[in-house]
Each structure stands twice: as structure tokens, then as C-alpha cells.
Structure 1
Amino acid sequence: MTRPATRLTTRPAAIARQVAIALFAAVLLGGCVTLPTDGPIVERNVTDEEDVRQASDIDARPPTAGASRTEVVAGFLDAMTAWPIQTSVAKKYLTGGAAAQWNPEQETIVYSDTLPVREVGGSVSVELTAADRLDAVGGWRGPVPANELTMGFRVTVEDGEYRIADPQDALVVPATWFQQRYRQVSLYYFDPLAQILVPEPVFVPEGDQLATSLVSGLLAGPPPLARGVVRSFLPSGLSVGLSVPVDKSGVADITLVGDAPKVTSEEAELMLAQLAWTLRQDDDITALRVTVGGFDLPLPGGASTYPVNGGQAFDPAGAGATTLLFGLTRGRLVWGTAGNLVPATGPFGDEGAGIEVAAARPDGEQVAVVDGSSRRVRVGSVRETADAPPTRTVLSGGTYARPSWDASGRLWVLERRRSGSVVWLVDGDGVRQVDVPGVTGEQAHQLIVSRDGTRLVAVLRTSRGDEVVGARVVINGRGGIARARAPYLVHAASNGRIVDMAWTSPIRVGLLTPTAPGTLSEVDVVAADGATVGVDELSTIVSGALIGLAGTPTPGPPMLAVYADRYVDIVQQDAYDAADALLTQLDYAG
């Protein structure tokens, strides 16, 4: 049964950008589906995605005769904004030796603004007001430290003109230019066991060369911060031919040149899965053909092309993952589709089960529940079947947050302690603590894990307000958890406390923050890698007393604002009654 939709309104994100409808769909669901372009949810910006794709060309200006030291440095910075990207003119501002050695592909620095170029004591410098850094592959590296915001240049005389002798190995561009011309996409690699694809978000230039940029990014290997976390089956030492042409039928011809080892059919399948999942982000591509070292890559079944929707067995959201909803009413487990929730037939669906929070495994067969005044974690079957394993207690004696599953069936549980949080891992019959820097020992409130098991995201309570931090997880060659790496900031809540969070795509996280408790709440969708520049963050105000947020990395199902008596599709505004009993929790599996 549906009811009239709860009124939802939007306001600009904290970074003062309104979200265009086309970009809103990409942010919310990782670019996997198309959402409606009408309705009151999102205001349309004057610059939509089509305008971004057709960003005006910029011709770089070479240095003029007799230019001063400061004019040469300013001209060099301006020349780096040439579009389409080319650095041949920028090199004219450098000495011959510097031009030969300058490597602007090593990193990208995106700055908010600059103070005027100045010359003091014979040296030339420019101060960036704020800046962020991308690595050579386009992966987000975070803000530039305050002590590195001043860029110094040694300017010397060559052939009677001032030229820069020591340029930084980076492309240095303004944020407004970057936001109009770059797009965050995912390059797909594998977990160490080659069981599931892992998306690594990177920024690539928009335009006709998107397919070439995507393949070149994959061939470069994982971004530095992901090395040791993921693996690639594309042989090293290969490069793209002149480009990746796409014919009228949408077939991309990928010619990989260089010395390549002989590829087995198993390796070919994994290579094709990486390429297909990466290239499906280009809407013009429907299939691909691959040539490696002059030989056609073998395709399954002897086909002539490989569809970009292939490789579903390695789905980063989990092959076979359910999109059913799981909730709690009167302490019992309910599940089903939107508008049709029924009690589970397993042990946790009984009246009086006393469940406080629950999390279903991605395949929907098992569920982990916290009961006993949050003092016990149990695992059991969702449905009653003859071969269902018995319910078992995996943790007890602590105070536990809602658990989180990855697609390999590993269960992650956050234990809240006054002395600092503890992260538990339940893997098969084993239970052990995992040291997660930035979470372990801190006042953590909630923790979720990505389906591929390589990324944790947690909410921390701090004196400055709640913060969301992320950490990469290293999985060893036997599928065990080796360790978690150093934390990074995903989001800082300017409005106080974050009461819930959920994956909305493999690389996006939805956050729920009450702005006026019981009256208004804010839903933010942010990049899981912490990127802020070049990513349009969704910020939506929802009215009423929300109890939670339901989201899933699987494309298709909507993100839901959850009330005790109903739940509402945040995009379409479809609302569903909670039937006879009030909800205390509702979420997708995971």
C-alpha cells in the first residue's frame, strides 16, 4: 500500500554547488542507472552534464618577448589549463633542460584560488589558498598540507628571456576548470583471490577520449594507495594504441601494444571482466574487442565481441546478492520487497525474538542480530529449512553496533567501549580482533564494510562533531584479513551527529544527520574515498522523524528514508506503509 509522499526538499551542498539532475543520478548510484529528470527533489543547475562534456576549448598562450619573471610564472600556470589537455605550450615557459625532464603526469594539483604571483629577493612564488592532490592514475590523495601551499619557482635567463628552471612535476589547475572537465569513474581490479571486482575511483578527462583514458588508467595499474589491496590481470608493460575507437554499433576496438606473455583462457576471462566493467561507464560502448601483442584475445564461446554487461560473476556488489529489504518490528525480523514486508520464517522472525539491530548477509540467507540489550551477537538463518544451520552466538559481553557483512561472508562487528572501540571479525568459525587505525581505540559509533571487503567506513564521535573515516583492508592470498591501513577522512559533519549510513553504490556512502531532531534531517551522499573536488555531493533535506537510511551498492533499488510508520524513496518520493507494526530498523542486505 502506498500513501502520499512525504515532502522532500533540497538545498545546496556544503561546498556551495547545486547538483544537476544528471549528475545527481551518477552520484547516487555510481552512474549505473538513469533516474527521472523531473520532480521536486533536485534543482537543475545552469550547467548540466551535457555542458560539462562540451567544455570550451582553451588555447594556451606562449610566452611573450620580454616577459618579466612573474609574468612567466603566471603564463606557465595559465598554459596548463589548455583544453583539450596538452602541455607543449606550457613547456615553452621552461628552460630547455627543465622542459625535457618535466613530468606533469606524475600528479595533479587542483587549487581553489591563488594570491597574485610575487617576486621577493629574486625568487618567484605563488600561494595557493587551498589545494587537493591526485596521484598519477587520478586517484584522490587528499588536501595539500598548509606548508606546501606556496609554490616556489627558480627563474633564470636563457637565450635572453626569463624561463623556469625547476617546475614541480605536476599539472596545476584551478578547481573550476577541473570540475568542468574531469569526471570521477571507477577502474576495476580484483581482490587477491580473483573472486570479486574492486572499484578504484579515479578522475579522468571528459570528452571523446573517455574510452582511451579508461583503458590507459587500467593499464597503469592500481592507484598507489590501492597497491597491495587489489590486483590486475592486465599484463604490465602494455599500452593503448593511438586510441580506443568506438564504431557506430558501440564496439570498442582495444589494441594493446608491447611485449605480453601468453594469456590463458582463464586470464582472458578476468581481463575482459576488468575491461567490461570499466568501459561500461562510457555510454557509447556496448561491446569490445581486444588485441594483445597482435593477437586477438580469446572470447568465451568463440564470440566476435564481448558485451560490456559481461563479467556478472564478478559483480563488485556481490554476485547473487539480494536486493530484498530486511527490517525489525516489535523485536522480530521482517523481510520482503518495498510495500510487502513479512515476518521471517527462521528463528529471528518469532514474536518476542528481542532483536535490537540486524544485518542480513548479501545473499539474504543468513542474518546477524544484536540482542540482549546490545550485549550479544547471534547468527542464524533467515528462513526455516530442513538443512538450516543452528543459530549460534558469536560474540557476547560487550555493547555492539549493527554488524556489517562483505560478499565473502565475513562479518564485521563494532564493539563500543568507553575506553575506545574494538573491531571484531567473524570469519567462518573464527572470531578475532582486527586493529583498524583511526577506529580501534576511538569513540566509533557505526562501521560498514564494502562488499568486496577492501574498504571500511566508520562514524566517529569527536569534540568537533561526528567524522566519517575510511580505511583500506589488505586481504592475503588465502582470503584472510591481513591488516587495515592508515585512515583517511571521508566527511566531517558540520551539523553535529551522523545517526546512520549506508552504501549507495560501490564508491558512494549515504549519511543521515538530524538538523532539527524530529523535524528535519539531512541526507548526504559522499565519495567513499573522501574526494570533494570534482564530485557533486548530494545534500537533501527530509522532513519528519527519521529512524534510519536504507541503501545498497547494487544498482537499481532506491535509497530510502525510513520512518517508524513508513519508508520513502528519496528520489521518486514513493512512500510505503510499515503495515501493522512500527519499524525500528529497515535496510538492504549487507
Structure 2
Amino acid sequence: MGADREGSGRRTPTRAVTYAVCGVVLLAGCASMPDRGDLRGVESTPRQDPQVRVFAMPPAEDASPSEIVQGFLEALTSNDPHYETARKYLTGDAAKTWRPERSTTVLAGGPGTESDHSASREDANDYSVTLTGTRVATVDAQQSYAPASGRYREPVHLSRDPKTRQWRIDVLPQGVIMGKSDFQRTYMSVNKYYFASDTVPKTGAGTSAQPAAVADPVYVRRLVDPLTQVVRSLISGPTSLLGPVVRSGFPTGTALADGTDSLAPDDRDKLTVPLNARARGVGSDRCDEMAAQLLFTLQSLTPAVDEVELTSGGKRLCSLSEERAETVAWRGSAQRPDYLYFVDAEHRLVRIAAGSNGTRPEPVPGALGEGTTALRSVAVSRDEHSAAGIGFDSKSLYVGSLVPGGSLGEPLLVSAGKTEAERLTSPSWDAQGDLWIADRNPADPRLLLLKDGAGVPVPVRIPGLDGRVQSVRVAADGVRIALVVEKDGKRSLLIGRVERDGRAEERPTVTVVELRSATPELEEVTAMSWAGDSRLVVVGRESGGVQQIGYVQVDGSTPEASVPAALTGVKEIAATEDERLPLVAYSEDLIVRLPSGMQWQKVTEGTAPVYPG
């Protein structure tokens, strides 16, 4: 809001502020965690209340150039749907050519202004000013968020109309610019959903005919009909980051029918979506996919829609309920695992019923639960039929079935690293039943994939990787991967897109591309886990700071979620895409869990907690 503004010449009556009845309070992204001491909670710091509605005010009569600039900047943070008031601060030509939808630039403290006093005088007919600030993020024309850094400097020029003698802006940067707190109040993140092009969950994790649904987060304006905004965005297609690996059920060229300005569910929570003629000829299966995409997307925005009906040319195409949508596509967040797994004091793989209050684990069926091979870390397949274990010296990878009497056999992979820290990472399973792992050997660092958790490991190409992979977690959708990468003593969390060459069935070509930082402010990432379709929980610290725990989105933004209670000495953390299940951590030689709305609770002794995945 106004607190973001820097520079002189601000006028107070620029905008009016009212309060909406409903909204979601944004919380700070991380809770501070001391490095020493007992387990204890730490208060989170609330951000600015997003319930505040801001209405822009037009320029005052005879406003000075500095007042025009400040008024325009204030108008950009309003809830004016088409920025009509902001355009009143521009000349006629500038208003026609300015494209606010092109991008949103987010600055740390809001835009400041520097006047060029040598070339500008308010008693002349032109005036120049430079907008300044420190970049935090950008939101592009596809509404995709990306962290940013560096200085922001953009020129603005004003001229005085020779007839009216009123100042107006005639040169300005394209897009919208605002401070971080204004952005948090004005925008909200919503997951659009598409289907993975090459990923079909393994039988047992989902029905083989079901495609995997992939969350594609975008930012929409919170109080400017977000439902209609996100429906338009969904129909227009995925963001460029996911475009190469996902598909949409909507035919190319599909849009809302002409004259559709706003969408709203009826009193039975059904949303009718009228489409143009491009959707008219779709079959029933494809129509169900389109409706499922809409339902999954709207569920991340509002609970007020539980059925979607699609029409075109006034004729009904199909209708899909929330319950039936789950039969159309497989979603990680809709899968509830049976067990939580970890390694006990005897270095065996053990389990406790997921979401229970149990504290007495039982060994898993099969060789990994017998203790004949001491384990350092584990991963359990998403269908909970198989598990992978890393030997106690972090040198060898074993895979076994979770059935009584199952044998372990020889290791599938052996690292030549000289120390434990230079050997194998904890493994990770994707929904197709493939196993991922990294070898940290400095002489031959590799990211590897084992098709169906067996056979010869396939090297995964990572073009442009700068550093050595220290941790691996594959998303449930199978098209995104989270990597902790170390370089020069700094450990960062990077998110990449997984591309597979489907032509090579036995020995596929797999590449991780477009790595992006999800935690640009953290210097040391200790542990991480997927905690939703597009969200991760991360343990780390900023430069010179103490250990923190918090949530991040795959795009590097901070989600609107309560910050987990503080916990000291966290070495490992586990979550599941089903956000109803508690976080679990390994801290101070104990397994602890965090039920919703409560403090961390001791479970038992053990290490390496994991949910399936």
C-alpha cells in the first residue's frame, strides 16, 4: 500500500480505502528457529491484510508533475479492473499504447522517484523523472511469477497540455510496477491444472488410463473477479515453463463465448462455462477432461464450486461433478498414503499408519524390515509396494518388495565416493514407478534414474547445472523435480522440468531443464519435501541468520499458508502432497510430527522419515 512509496511529493487524497468482508490473511514465509535449546513455538509475523480494497482517485485539477506520478503509482495498486483511472494520468496517445497486462514488476519497498532537476522544471512544459527500486519478482503476461534481483530504473516523462495546462505522463514503462506489500495484498496464487504429456501413474497409484494432473501456478488479481480471470487463463493454455511437458483438454483457439464478462456459480454450486465454437465438436471423454481441469483449478481458488457444466452455442457439452473428476485424472494431492516410514534404531525400515497418533512402529514386510542390511535412508514407492534403501555407509542402493519373504539381492548402484557425504543421496520415486537418485562423488557427480526401480541406472542430463546435487525429490506429477544443489559452500533449492524421450522404451533419454531457484533468499538449504501439488516445505537459513522452516511455491513465491511451528536442529523433513497429513521431521535424534494447529510432538527414536514418493 502507501507504505511502499518512496520519494517526495506524495499527496494523501490519491485513493480511498475500504475493507471487504472476507479474505485470507497472508503470513510471513518462514518461522525463525534457534539453533540451540528446547523445542518451542515462535510467533509468525503477519503481512499486510489482503482484505483491504483500494479505489483509485483521478488526478486533481492543476496537480503538479510529482503529484501526477505519485497518483499514477497509487492507481496501479487499486482494484480497478482495467486500470481506467490510472489511464487518466496519461496523455491520450500514452493511454492507447500502455499495456498493463504485459507484466508486473515487484519492488522490495515500492517505486521511488528521482527527478532530473537539470532538465525538468515544473514551470516549463515537460518534466522527467526516473522510477527506482530493488527488484523482487516479475509476473509475466502469462501471469507466471519468477524471482528477480538487481536495481530497477525506468524513465517517465510528463508534458503539459497547451490548452488545459494540465500535466500528464506521455512516456512510461510498459506493465505495472508496485511494492512487495502491495503485491501481496493485490494478487493471489492459484493453481491451474493440465495433464502430463508422458506421465501415466503406475497401476496401484492410480488407474493406468488416467493422466497425471499437473499444477501450473499463476497470479491473479485478488479482488478483480479472480474466478473469471483464472478460467480465462486456464483455457488460454499452460505457462511456457510447463508447456513442453503438459497438454490441455481445451482445443486450440478455445475461449469464453463472446459477451461473457463474468462467471459465478449458481445456488447449487454449479458453474456453467460458455465456450466459443472451437469447443463445439469435442467428444465426451475430452469434454470430461476440460471439465476436470476447471474443477481442479477452481478447487484451489474457492470451495463454492463442486460441479462444472460446459456449453457452446447455447448447447450443453457435458457436466462433471467433483467426485467424478477424480476418476478422470490422477492428482498427487488427492492420494492419501497408508503409512509414514522411517529407519529405526536397529537401522530397519519401519512404518506407522499415516495421520495416526501411533508411536509404536512395526517393521515393514520383506528384507528391508528385517535388519540384515543396515540402512541410512529410504524411499517408498507411491503404490507402497516397493522400497529403496541406502546402506548405512551411503555407498549402496538396494530395492526390495514390501511383501513377506521378499529378498534384497545385490545393490543396484554402488558409489565410489570416499566419504559418506560424497556418496549416494536419499532416493525418490515418481508416480510412474521410476526411481531417482544422485551420486555425490566429486570425481563423477551424477543424477540417475532407474526405470521401474530396476535395471541399469540411466544418467539424467542437466544442461547448465552449476554445482553438485545434494538432494533429490521428484514431484508426484512426474514432470518436475526439486534439487538441492551445492556450489561454493552454498546450498540452494532449484526446481526443474523433466523431459523424457518416449521413443526409447528400455533406456529412455531423460533431461532436467530450466532450473530455477525456489529459495533465492536462503543460503543454506538443509532439507526439503514436496508438500502439495505446487508447494514444498523447506528447512534452511539466510546469510548470517538462524535456521528457518517454511513453505515455498515451485515458482519461488511464498504461498498463503500458516508457518509451521519452530523446531530446533532439523536434519530431515517429510511431507506429502495431501496437505491434511502432518509434517514429520528428524530433529535432535527423534522423529517428531506436527498435527494441524498444534505444536511438534515426539513420536519415537529414529531417522530418515518419509511418506511414499
TM-score (norm 1): 0.82
Give CA-to-partner distance per residue, 1:288-345, whole Å, 9 cap, x none.
222134332224xxxxx52277225523317756241111122221123142421112
Could you tell me which amino acid in structure 1 is paired with residue 583 of structure 2?
M
Provide the residue aligned with 1:185 in structure 2: 190
1:107 corresponding residue in structure 2: 103
Question: Deviation at 1:47?
Answer: 7.1
2:278 corresponds to 1:259: yes
1:507 lines up with 2:527 in the alignment: no
Confirm whether residue 435 of structure 1 aligns to residue 480 of structure 2: no
SS in 2 for 1:76: helix
| 1:230 maps to 2:257 | no
| Contact residue 135 and residue 223 of structure 1 kept, 8 A | no
1:56 paired with 2:80, answer no
Report the Cα distance in structure 1 between the residues aligned to 2:156 and 2:521, rounded to whole angstroms. 38
Letter in 2 for 1:416: R
User: For 1:314, what is the secondary structure of its paired residue?
Assistant: coil
Aligned partner of 2:388 in structure 1 is 368
CA contact (8 A) 2:584 2:591 kept: no
Cα RMSD of the aligned pairs, angstroms, is: 3.2
Q: Specify which of 391, 398, 404 is matched with residue 378 of structure 1.
A: 398
**Kept in 2: contact 1:325–1:335 (CA 8 A):** yes
Establish whether residue 165 from structure 1 lines up as the match of residue 170 from structure 2: yes
Q: How does 1:232-311 map to 2 (within 5 A)?
A: 232-240=248-256, 241-260=260-279, 262-281=281-300, 282-299=302-319, 306-307=321-322, 310-311=325-326
- Is contact 1:560–1:570 with CA below 8 Å preserved after alignment? no
1:150 corresponding residue in structure 2: 153
- Offset, 1:62: 2.6
The answer as to whether partners of 1:318 and 1:362 remain within 8 angstroms in 2 is no
Give the aligned partner of residue 424 of structure 1: 448
How far apart, in 1, do the equivalents of 2:533 and 2:482 lie? Answer: 12
1:406 aligns with 2:406: no
Q: Which residue of 2 aligns with 1:336?
A: 352
Partner SS for 1:526? strand
Q: Deviations over 1:59-109 (max 9, x none)?
A: x23334544444433332222222143311222233323322222111111
Q: How many residues align?
A: 535
Match of 1:523 in 2: 549
**Residue aligning to 1:86:** 82
Counterparts of 1:45 and 1:217, CA distance in 2: 32
How much has 1:486 moved relative to structure 2? 2.5
2:195 touches 2:212 (CA, 8 Å); kept in 1?
yes
Give the secondary-structure state (helix, strand or coil) at the position aligned to 1:186.
Answer: strand
**Offset, 1:404:** 0.8
Contact 2:77 2:186 in 1 (8 A): no
Unpaired runs of 5+ residues, structure 2, are 1-22, 31-39, 121-127, 200-210, 417-422
Indicate which of 462, 466, 473 corresponds to 1:448.
Answer: 473
Match of 1:126 among 111, 127, 131: 131
Counterpart amino acid of residue 262 in structure 1: G
1:583 equivalenced with 2:606 (yes/no):
yes
Contact 1:425 1:431 in 2 (8 A): yes
1:230 & 1:26 partners in 2: Cα distance? 32
Aligned residue in 2 for 1:11? none
- Equivalent residue, structure 2, for 1:356: 376
CA shift for structure 1 position 22: 6.4
Q: Supply the distance in 1 between the matched residues of 2:234 and 2:441 (Cα, whole angstroms).
A: 42
Amino acid paired to 1:260? A
Cα offset, 1:453, TM superposition? 1.6
Larger deviation, residues 95-104 vs 396-405: 95-104
Change (3 A) 1:24 1:369: farther
Q: CA separation in 2, counterparts of 1:457 and 1:137?
A: 23
Instruction: Summarize deviations over 1:469-523 as a string: whole Å, max 9, x none.
Output: 22122245669554222321111575x64332211112221223489xxxx9642
Q: Secondary structure at the match of 1:523?
A: strand
**Contact 2:398-2:408 within 8 A present in 1 as well:** no
Shift of 1:444: 2.5
Distance 1:393 1:419, change over 3 A: closer
1:8 aligned partner: none
Q: CA deviation at 1:451?
A: 1.0
Letter in 1 for 2:194: Y
The equivalent of 1:6 in structure 2 is none
**TM-score scaled to structure 2, two decimals?**
0.79
Q: Decide whether aligned partners of structure 1 residues 22 and 334 sit closer, same or farther in structure 2, where only a CA change above 3 A counts.
A: farther
**Post-superposition shift, 1:573?**
3.3
Tell me how far apart the structure 2 counterparts of residues 272 and 64 of structure 1 sit (CA, whole Å): 48
The structure 1 residue matched to 2:494, chosen from 452, 458, 469, is 469
- Structure 2 letter corresponding to 1:404: S
Structure 2: distance between partners of 1:508 and 1:320: 15
Match of 2:580 among 556, 559, 578: 556
- Pair 1:497–1:151, CA change in 2 (3 A): closer
The answer to whether residue 508 in structure 2 is matched with residue 457 in structure 1 is no
* Cα deviation, residue 450, structure 1: 0.7
Q: Aligned equivalents of 2:66 and 2:45: distance in 1?
A: 37
Cα offset for 1:124?
2.6
Letter in 2 for 1:531: S
Quickly say closer, same or farther: Cα 1:109–1:312, change in 2 above 3 A: farther
SS in 2 for 1:498: strand
Residues 473 and 481 of structure 1 are in contact (CA less than 8 Å); yes or no, is this contact kept in structure 2? Answer: no
Residue in 1 that maps onto 2:3: none
The change in CA–CA distance for 1:537 and 1:486 in structure 2 (over 3 A counts) is: farther
Kindly report which structure 2 residues correspond to 1:487-498, keeping only aligned pairs within 5 A, or say none. 487-492=515-520, 494=522, 497-498=524-525
Q: Hey, what does 2:329 align to over in structure 1?
A: 314
Paired AA for residue 88 in structure 2: K
Report the 3-state secondary structure (helix = DSSP H, G, I; strand = E; otherwise coil) of the residue aligned with 2:233. Answer: helix
Deviations 1:222-250 (A, max 9, x none): 12222213221122323332211112222
Query: Corresponding residue for 1:210?
Result: 226
Match of 1:14? none
Q: Secondary structure at the match of 2:54?
A: coil
**Compared with structure 1, are the counterparts of its residues 536 and 165 closer, same or farther at alpha carbon in structure 2 (3 Å cutoff)?**
farther
Instruction: State which of 69, 79, 91 in structure 2 corresponds to 1:95.
Output: 91
**Is the 2:341–2:352 Cα contact (8 Å) retained in structure 1?**
yes
Q: Distance in 2 between matches of 1:172 and 1:444?
A: 36
CA distance in structure 2 between the partners assigned to 1:68 and 1:514 by the alignment: 46
Deviation, structure 1 residue 279: 0.9
In structure 1, distance between residues paired with 2:87 and 2:239: 27
* Maintained 8 Å contact 2:363/2:369: yes
Secondary structure of the residue aligned to 2:387 is strand
| CA–CA separation in structure 2 for the residues paired with 1:43 and 1:372 | 38
Letter in 2 for 1:400: L
Give yes or no for contact 1:380–1:392 (8 Å, CA) kept in 2: no
In the alignment, structure 1 residue 538 sits paired with structure 2 residue 549: no
Shift of residue 535, structure 1, vs aligned partner: 5.1
* Contact 2:469/2:484, CA 8 A, preserved across alignment: yes
Q: Which consecutive residues of structure 1, in runs of 5 or more, have no partner in the other structure? A: 1-20, 29-39, 300-304
Change (3 A) 1:237 1:483: same
